[in-house]
Amino acid sequence: MTATHCIIHGKVQSVFYRDWTVATARSLGIAGWVRNLPDGTVEAQLEGERETIARMIEAMRGGPPRAAPTHIDTREVPGEGFDTFERR
């Protein structure tokens, strides 16, 4: 298991990006969380197998139909042992 912290930039608030992220992460079996930040970005912590997290990040580059992510900053972090994926 590994954990990756993400900051998603672009048009990612008020476009159902967090709800989409929750549904997509759960469908892939990823644990963690997602939340909006005051600067207009979205922050997420993804925990799971390295290959599955890579698939999730690739999906996040597109997001839901109304979103327009421009880039995602990622860094590996210590896992926190989440059991599910939640919206914060």
What CATH number is associated with residue 61?
3.30.70.100
Domains of the chain: total: 1
pLDDT score recorded for residue 1: 87
Q: Is pLDDT at 14 greater than 90 in this prediction?
A: yes
Mean pLDDT along residues 19-25: 98
Task: Spell out the residues 6+ positions from residue 47 whose beta carbon is closer than 8 angstroms to its own.
Answer: 1, 2, 3, 4, 30, 31, 32, 53, 79, 80, 81, 82
Domain that holds residue 68: 2-87
| Encoded tokens for 35 | 């939340």
Q: What percent of the chain has pLDDT over 70?
A: 100
pTM for the whole thing?
0.95
Residues recognised as catalytic: 18, 36
